[in-house]
Amino acid sequence: MNWKLWTFLATLAWTMWGVAIKYALKHINWARLEVLSALAGLLAILFIAPSGFLIKPNSANLIGFIAGGLGALGAILFYIAVSQGPISVVIPITSLYVVGVAIFGFILFDEPLTFKKGLGVACAAAAMILLAGES
């Protein structure tokens, strides 16, 4: 499969994830949800990529470990926000991370910043701000 199909499937999974966590948080607290999510993630990794556990000490693995920690922290903070606020506002606001990632992609990874990409990032930011405007 090419990256566009993987991207579509990831977006579909995250869409269902957003709905599922809102439902779950109506019945369990964020800490239990994080533990269950971590266990489910571990099982998925064991099933999909068992060779991923061959870890050698190096700086790339350290950055991967930090990335995983930041992802877990973001998930915890996200779960708390969703448990206390409307999902129709929390998800658009937290989706603004894509704007930051795009900017860092241009700066750190020398990804080309074309007018079309810049306009797309600006439109994405505007759309998320407008969606989140109703609190």
**Per-state percent for the chain, helix, strand, coil, to nearest 5:** 80, 0, 20
Each residue's pLDDT tens digit, 81-90: 999 998 888 8
Which pair of structure tokens corresponds to residue 57? 């000490």
How many Å apart are CA 79 and CA 64, to the nearest integer?
22
| Boundaries of every domain in the chain | 17-84, 86-135
Each residue's pLDDT tens digit, 18-75: 889 999 999 999 999 999 999 998 888 877 776 666 667 888 888 888 888 898 999 9
Which pair of structure tokens corresponds to residue 103? 């900017």
Return the ∠ at Cα 76 (arms to 27 and 102), rounded to 5°. Answer: 125
Q: What's the pTM value of the predicted model, to 2 decimals?
A: 0.75
Q: What's the Cα-to-Cα distance from 91 to each of 79, 130, 135, rounded to whole Å? A: 11, 12, 12
